[in-house]
Structure 1
Amino acid sequence: MSTFLATPDRTDFVPFQPTDEQARFLLGLFELDPVTGRRRYRRAVISRPKGWGKSPLLSAWIIAESLAPVVPDGWDAHGQPVARPWAELRTPWAQVCATSAEQTANAWVPLLEMIRGGSVVDEYDLDPMDTFIAMPKGRIEPVTAAATSREGNRPIACLLDQTESWLPANGGVRLAATLRRNLGKTGGVSVEAPNAYFPGLESVAEDSARYWSAIQEGRTQGDDGLLYDHREAPGDTELDDDESLLNGLRIAYGDSASDAGGWVDLRRIMAEVRDPGTDPQDARAFYLGQITHAKGSWVTSPQWNAVADATKYLSYGDTVTLGFDGSVRDDSTALVACRVDDGHLELLACWEKPLVRDDEWSVPGLEVDAAVAAAMQRFRVIGFYADPPYWETYVDRWNSLYGRKMRVGHRSHPLEWKTNQPSQMEEALKRFLTAVLGGQLSHDGGSQLTRHILNARRRLSATGKLAIGKDPQFPSKKIDAAMAAVLAFECRADALATGKGRIRKSNGFRAQRAI
């Protein structure tokens, strides 16, 4: 890339040189599986704010995929990987894809400049025309056609530009699925280059983020062929505070920021963020890389990220309260613990239907029962709120086993806490949200609990009380872990309010003493 390509948007020739940050992404993209010798990733996402340099980087990548020796071809005598170009296997056909001609130009114009301004034209005998790049064998072309016209093509590489705007309504979701099917025929690779997506629009970028979460949570049955590289400013970045905003921009732009020797003038970006014509949510998405919130969100991503603390974790013997919300088949089931002394939340277990279709799947009751028993052994549990529907038998059993040890809850049924009681549910939701906004709770940043929290939508009960529920348009987006977290935190609040949450040391463990 650096030898044969020019940097775009320059009056004089400057060789293309990726930043260290961009080079790390490229190294990851070409990583090999040491067992099979094949490339590890079949899909990738590089999500960065506007102006970071996604288009030149991925223009360089797709040129390299088309011309350079990138197809693994075994190992040499020293154990180093060797490769050959696609042209030795098949006709290399690469595509720069978007949902409109204007959008495609974001990547296509820099690509033409990088080829025409460098020595790659002579070295590889290219003919860079406005509508496609002709190679001695194969071509690189822009794609904006409907998904149906792309079915059956056999590309070796596809650049999917600005996938935060690839939606079901404009055919983007269908186009992405078609392109990936076509790449599957050749063993090719796709790379997405989105800005931060807006949750709830069901864009291709949002779907890829959801897929990455599923990989992290082990719900893809061993499939980990997605390289996901997203960076955003801290959740507590304040747009009207100079120091906070500048720090957030430095983190979001990384090596591309002027403060790090890059080309992005952060002071100018600050002015754009604060321009009265810039919507604050747009500013956070486009310049800070923050995935904000969908319409009707209960908790936004920046709010939840602001109370994430990966340095905190629950330890054996901690005094905690538990929350449980369950289902049987299509919904998920979750168990959450909340440490009493500081309000730190941890998802202990969550059972969700696998992404691979399985009509026989149901929540494994014995595993749930075992997880509850394990929590009782691991922690000093002083309260446990469980929503009983579908799990009445288990809740009754837990009451009989653990009820006498609970310091909060109804005297006869200390574990039972019904979420269908509008007034008490509203109070619990308000208390939880107030704690998030005030930094009075924390979590470890785990993807599964985060996903459930951000899936929750505000709604009103029949009596006009605040409630949360799933997005009715997308019922597959579960919120059970969010409800379990609310119950665990509410149980802690009740313990503190009744004076039963005071901590003392006993036998080397944190213990609970009623006042």
Structure 2
Amino acid sequence: MVAADDGTWPLDFPTLYVVPDWIARHCRIKSVGGLVTEPQPFEMYDWQLRCTAQFYRVKPEAEVGQLASAFHFRRAQVVAPQKSGKGPWTATIVAAEAVGPVLFNGWARGGERYECRRYGCGCGWGYVYEQGEPMGRPWGEPLLQITATSEDQTDNIFRPLQAMIRNGPLAELMKVGEQFIRLPNDGRIDVVTSSAQSRLGNPVTFVAQDETGIWTEGNKMTKVATTQRRGLAGMSGRSMESTNGWDPTENSVAQKTAESKVRDVYRYHRLPPKGLSYKNKAERRKIHAFVYQGSHHIDLDSIEGEAAELLENEPAEAERFYGNRLVAGMGTWLQQDHWDARFAKGVVVPAKTRIVLGFDGSDVDDWTGIRAETLDGYQFTPTYGPDKRPTIWNPEDWEGQVPRLEVDAAVDELFAWYDVVRMYADPPYWTSEVAQWQAKHGEKRVTEWQTYRAVQMHAAAEQLLTDVTKKDSTFRHDGCETTSIHIRNARKAARPAKRYVLRKAAVHQKIDLAVCSILAHEAASDAIAAGSAEPPKRYYAYTG
């Protein structure tokens, strides 16, 4: 998973700054609440300008004639809370992609001008480029789609776009219809929904995908997203997602984008400070103030009212919509933000430190992993081998099967490098290997720990849950992203006597590193109870 821009990334790169200036001139809206009746230029908030600059970031080696390949990012995802201004801002990007200077047109020597009149706009506006600045030009035949699950949802973008056209100079270039907008040179902007997909597969130059956090296999929108991207690839076009936070149990298009390892997708997501409780009114106010920062039209009292009402029946939805967090619904074992709040930066575990290990193994489907924990409560994913690979093995990365020799080598290295006092290993698929580790390192140090035992697994899961969430806990961890995702994916599966074991939220959503963390923490608790945290006794021999 690639990190998202949290609003702190530097903006020291070449970009088409002509685009936000063009938008300010051509896209006009009425003030929020109708206090001003005359249309005003659309002035971007800081976060909107940041996302625009990143989306139109030009590669230093870009050449005239390149389309999508001239830009640093092939597509973008913007995650922001409800009513923060995603829809109107996205509408301005659609307008620019339709008739604005969004294609790279070479590097300025200084003094060159972009003239609207050259492209059929009679507003008289021009832009003077500085030396070394990338220049822009419009598409020759723009073909765009605004996409959402329903017509009501597409209105988030389509209605402000229609108003912008009617309120300003865009009316000379764009003719508004109910379901599409006609553009110069037989170009057009179409609306696509889950129930009206007849235009899918058409070549397109730009696609706006709204609320991809609710685009799933179930509503057939995952196929819409992939089909549109194929159409964009054929035209060397680009796309932009905008969404609220999503339910991480649903494997939405937004979630797949956020968790993808590709680096040519720009992601913007300002997560609120970790450790704040959304159920606490004072802390919820701090969360809202953080995630709505820069959206000056927002009244936080109004947001509080909406959030408080939704909290009564749909607390997870309220936190996603207004808190900008990724919170699962019912049955979640441990909320990801609580786990992430225990991240401790810069901890180094020296050689020969007393640790324990938690091992969960698979073969061809689930992942295999090892988590370690020191006896003072610091948990981490160790590394092994000459390349210092993390002890996480996804079968897909190893030709479909977990590399058992790699795992065996990692276990040997960990026992040699650290003072491993206990290793709890879930034995299915790995019975022979666990037996070999017991023979090599001792049965007192390597123990089979079956996770299918409801009583023991419930107690171990509850112990880690408690130590993560209680205020005075000393538990902390290394911030391993894979473990964080697996923690988030874990759900409670009910068992008799009010107990539970863990299950996946969905087949594809792995929880193996969460299990490793539980086993490591259980091993640490048992080792401390057995006295392993005490300094080793020293025995002396005397000679007369």
TM value normalised by structure 2: 0.80
3-state SS of the aligned residue for 1:86? coil
Q: Assess if the C-alpha contact under 8 Å between 1:501 and 1:513 holds in 2.
A: no
Separation of aligned partners in 2, 1:459 and 1:468: 6
Aligned counterparts, 1:355-504, within 5 A: 360-403=399-442, 411=444, 414-439=446-471, 440=473, 441-460=475-494, 465-471=499-505, 474-502=506-534
Alpha-carbon deviation of 1:74? 4.7
- Bigger Cα Rg: 2
Separation of aligned partners in 2, 1:414 and 1:127: 73
Q: Which position in structure 1 is the counterpart of 2:117?
A: none
Q: Assess if the C-alpha contact under 8 Å between 2:201 and 2:228 holds in 1.
A: no
Q: Which position in structure 1 is the counterpart of 2:103?
A: 71
1:182 to 225, 228, 231: 231
1:301 to 336, 339, 342: 336
Alpha-carbon deviation of 1:378? 4.3
Aligned residues: 474
For residue 450 of structure 2, what is the amino acid of its counterpart? K
3-state SS of the aligned residue for 2:203? coil
Q: Which position in structure 1 is the counterpart of 2:291?
A: 252
Q: Which position in structure 2 is the counterpart of 1:269?
A: 303
Separation of aligned partners in 2, 1:129 and 1:394: 67
1:375–1:513 Cα change, 3 Å = farther
CA-to-aligned-CA distance 1:189-235 (integer Å, 9 cap, x gap): 12111111123233322332333xxx1xxxxxxx4232222223234
Stretch deviating more after TM superposition (433-442 or 454-463): 454-463
Aligned counterparts, 1:147-158, within 5 A: 148-158=197-207
Alpha-carbon deviation of 1:182? 1.3
Percent of aligned positions that are identical: 32
1:55–1:513 Cα change, 3 Å = farther
Structure 1 unaligned blocks of 5 or more: 216-222, 257-261, 404-409, 505-511
Q: Which position in structure 2 is the counterpart of 1:3?
A: 25
Separation of aligned partners in 1, 2:413 and 2:58: 39
3-state SS of the aligned residue for 1:49? coil
Aligned counterparts, 1:92-171, within 5 A: 92-122=142-172, 125-137=173-185, 138-144=187-193, 146=195, 148-171=197-220
2:46 to 20, 31, 46: 20
CA-to-aligned-CA distance 1:443-484 (integer Å, 9 cap, x gap): 33332111111112211458974211224xx32221111111
Q: Assess if the C-alpha contact under 8 Å between 2:57 and 2:73 holds in 1.
A: yes
1:344 to 376, 379, 385: 379
Does 2:331 align with 1:292?
Answer: no
CA-to-aligned-CA distance 1:340-362 (integer Å, 9 cap, x gap): 2134344642111338xx8x421
Stretch deviating more after TM superposition (11-20 or 277-286): 277-286
Q: Which position in structure 2 is the counterpart of 1:230?
A: 269
Separation of aligned partners in 1, 2:188 and 2:61: 32
Separation of aligned partners in 2, 1:514 and 1:450: 40
Alpha-carbon deviation of 1:136? 1.7
Separation of aligned partners in 1, 2:322 and 2:453: 42
Q: CA RMSD in A?
A: 2.7
Q: Which position in structure 1 is the counterpart of 2:127?
A: none
Separation of aligned partners in 1, 2:484 and 2:306: 30
Separation of aligned partners in 2, 1:269 and 1:148: 35
1:322 to 354, 357, 361: 357
Separation of aligned partners in 2, 1:487 and 1:266: 43
Separation of aligned partners in 1, 2:484 and 2:419: 25
Q: Which position in structure 2 is the counterpart of 1:85?
A: 138
3-state SS of the aligned residue for 2:25? coil
Q: Assess if the C-alpha contact under 8 Å between 2:380 and 2:480 holds in 1.
A: no
